[in-house]
Amino acid sequence: MSQMIKMLKAKGAEVKTSGVINWSSKKREQQIDDLVDRFSSQYDF
């Protein structure tokens, strides 16, 4: 994850937040929902 953030910043992108989904977890749907909520709270709609 940190390598991806470094690469994005090097290209001028602003990384406001990031997250990881454990795709083999039984709780992955909840992880996805939580991440979407966290990402969408960054913006005013």
Over residues 18-32, the mean pLDDT reads 95
Place 6 in a pLDDT band, splitting at 50, 70 and 90. Answer: very high
35 burial type by CB count under 10 A (0-12 exposed, 13-18 middle, 19+ buried): middle
Q: How high is the mean pLDDT of the chain?
A: 92
| Nearest by Cα to 16 from 30, 28, 41, 45 | 41
Place 42 in a pLDDT band, splitting at 50, 70 and 90. Answer: confident
